[in-house]
Amino acid sequence: MAEYISNSPEETKKIAKKIAKTLKPGNVMYLYGELGSGKTVFVKGICAGLGIGEEITSPSFVIATEYRGTLVVAHIDLYRLQRGQAGDLPIEEYILQDGVTVIEWADRIDVLKRGISVNIDIINRKKRVIKIEDLRN
């Protein structure tokens, strides 16, 4: 497990850009953290690291958004769902085999498969601890 300290949204993006360089087609990232912890900021860094120049926003009201860069990124946000409700959604259909899938509020999915787990914990107004566990193998 890797652990990073971020003292700003810019640092969170830099950490995510570094992680983006390790991603391969078919990878799934599961993001955990309370509201305001920086999950969407992390996704912005992943997308920037994969050459996506367009503005990245939280797809909370549409559930999923797709972005194209050196790899396609499917950004899924399950914020509006209660824990366990995601079972009614065809989440498997959103997981890209030729790109990267990033799922915010992954705790709302009952069963997780291999992927990269990212936990973002709030320490104070600016400081975050980002723990990344690679479960791809």
More confident residue, 34 or 97: 34
Residue holding tokens 């503005």?
55
Q: Is the pLDDT of residue 43 over 60?
A: yes
Q: Cα–Cα distance between 85 and 58 in angstroms, integer?
A: 19
Is residue 136 in a domain?
no
The count of domains in the chain is: 1
Mean pLDDT of 11-15: 97
Mean pLDDT of 27-51: 95
49-103 pLDDT tens trace:
999 988 888 766 667 889 999 999 999 888 876 555 555 565 666 677 889 999 9
Give the pLDDT of residue 49: 97
Give the pLDDT of residue 42: 97
| Count of other CB atoms within 10 angstroms of residue 118 | 26
Q: Is the pLDDT of residue 2 over 70?
A: yes
Range of the domain at 114: 2-131
Give the pLDDT of residue 63: 77
Q: What CA dihedral angle connects 117, 50, 89 and 80, to 10 degrees? A: 80
Please report the beta strands in the chain, taking only residues with DSSP state E, as ranges in sequence order.
2-6, 28-32, 64-68, 72-77, 99-104, 116-122, 128-134
Is residue 137 in a domain?
no
Give the pLDDT of residue 117: 93
The domain spanning residue 51 has which CATH number?
Answer: 3.40.50.300
Q: Is the pLDDT of residue 1 over 80?
A: yes
Could you tell me the sign of the dihedral formed by the alpha carbons of 8, 128, 31, 134, in that order?
positive
Give the pLDDT of residue 86: 54
* 25 burial via Cβ count (<10 Å: 0-12, 13-18, 19+): exposed
- CA 135 from centre of chain: 14
Is residue 40 in a domain?
yes
94-118 pLDDT tens trace:
677 889 999 998 887 765 667 899 9
Give the pLDDT of residue 15: 97
